[in-house]
Amino acid sequence: MEKRFIKIGNAAELLGVSIETLRKWESTGELVPDRKTAGGTRFYDTAKLLGLGDSDYPTICYARVSSHDQKADLVRQKEMLETYCAAKGWRTEVIADLGSGMNFNNKGLAKLLEIILRKRTKRLVLTHKDRLLRFGAELVFTLCEIQGIEIVIIHKGENPTFEMELSQDILEIITVFSARLYGSRSSKNRKLIQELQVHADKIAEELGVYDPSPQD
Active site residues per annotation: 66
Alpha-carbon distance 188 to 181, whole Å? 10
Report the 10 Å Cβ neighbour count for 153: 16
| Encoded amino acid at 16, one letter | G
Cβ contacts of 90 within 8 Å, gap of 6 or more = 58, 59, 123
The answer to whether the Cα torsion of 200, 203, 206, 210 is positive or negative is: negative
Q: Hey, how many other C-beta atoms are within 10 angstroms of the C-beta on 189?
A: 15
- Strands 123-126 and 59-65, how do they pair? parallel
Query: Count of alpha carbons within 13 Å of 211, Cβ hemisphere only?
Result: 10
Q: How far apart are CA 112 and CA 32, in angstroms?
A: 25
Cα Rg of the chain, angstroms? 21
